[in-house]
Structure 1
Amino acid sequence: MKRLFPAPLLSLALWLLWLVLNLSLSPGNLLLGALLGVVAPLLMKPLGPLPVRIRRPGVMLKLFLRVGCDVVSSNIAVSWTVWNAKRRPPRSAFVKVPLDLRDANGLAALSMITTVIPGTVWSELALDRSVLLMHVFDLNDEAQFIEHFKHCYERPLMEIFQ
């Protein structure tokens, strides 16, 4: 049964969505919706998430609190920089951050953290996952930024996922 319906709730949701979008309960729409509900999850199964094994949940809580604090402080810093842009324009730059983290789930979490913190954007990851290219809105010291990024985000994720 799991081979035919790898995600039964998704199959049901797709079938219902098809019916709602077509506003019809005709036999053809019922059949097409059911076909979509069966075929789409089968085709998307290889794209499913990798199994996650969290090794240190306490570190995860500390990281969550750290990210929350950094979101608030970065919002204030970016707002202040934008407010004072005429006096001192922001020093935007692309930064290459060497990575030690290789776990796909850890990298996904790192990309979300990078994107949610104002002033930083995940731009590109090297094919071998060794270097991350980031855009930083206002950069004072590149070496200090890299050390902060690795210490505050990458190391805890390595403890959690690797």
Structure 2
Amino acid sequence: MSRLFPAPLLSLSLFVLWLLLNLSVSAGNLLLAAVLGILAPLLMAPLRPQHAHVRRPRVIVKLIGRVGLDVILSNLEVARGVLRAGKRPPRSAFVHIPLALREPHGLATLSMITTVVPGTVWSELALDRSVLLLHVFDLEDEAAFIKHFKDTYERPLMEIFQ
């Protein structure tokens, strides 16, 4: 049965979504919804990533709180940097951050975190996943920033995923 429905929840969701979008439960729409619900997950199964193995779920709660706080503080810092740009322009820079995190789900989560936190942009990841190139809006001390980034984001993600 799992061969026909590799993602049963996705199949059901696609079936229901098709019917809702068409606002009809005619025989033709039921057939199309069933075909979509069966074929789409089958065709997309090779694209699905491996299942993530979460090791320490409590660390997730702490990380979410920390990211939320960093979003607020970074918004204030970026706003302050923009407002004082005439007096002192921001010292933006690209920073190479060595990574110990290699797990794909952890790296994907790290990329989302850097996207959400204002003032940082994920620029490039080395092919061997050993170094992250990050653009920082206003950088005072590169070594302190790297230490903060690794302690605040990478270490908890390693606890969660590795």
Question: Same fold by TM (over 0.5)?
Answer: yes
Normalising by structure 1, what TM-score?
A: 0.86
* Residues 90-105 of structure 1: pairs in structure 2 closer than 5 A: 90-105=90-105
Q: Does 1:33 align with 2:40?
A: no
Structure 1 residue runs without a partner (length 5+): none
Q: Does 1:21 align with 2:40?
A: no
Query: Could you say which residue in structure 1 is the equivalent of 2:138?
Result: 138
Size of the aligned set, in residue pairs, is 162
Q: Could you list the per-position Cα deviations for residues 19-49 of structure 1 after superposition, in whole angstroms to 9, with x for gaps in the alignment?
A: 3434554433332222111111112223334
Query: Could you say which residue in structure 2 is the equivalent of 1:87?
Result: 87
Say if 1:97 and 1:20 are closer, same or farther in 2 by CA, change over 3 A: same
Provide the rounded CA distance (Å) in 2 between the counterparts of 1:49 and 1:37.
19
Provide the rounded CA distance (Å) in 2 between the counterparts of 1:46 and 1:55.
25
Query: Could you say which residue in structure 2 is the equivalent of 1:68?
Result: 68
Query: Could you say which residue in structure 2 is the equivalent of 1:118?
Result: 118
Deviation at 1:51, TM superposition (A): 2.5
Query: Could you say which residue in structure 1 is the equivalent of 2:2?
Result: 2
Q: Does 1:52 align with 2:40?
A: no
Q: Secondary structure at the match of 1:90?
A: coil
Provide the rounded CA distance (Å) in 2 between the counterparts of 1:98 and 1:48.
28
Deviation at 1:4, TM superposition (A): 0.8
Deviation at 1:58, TM superposition (A): 4.0
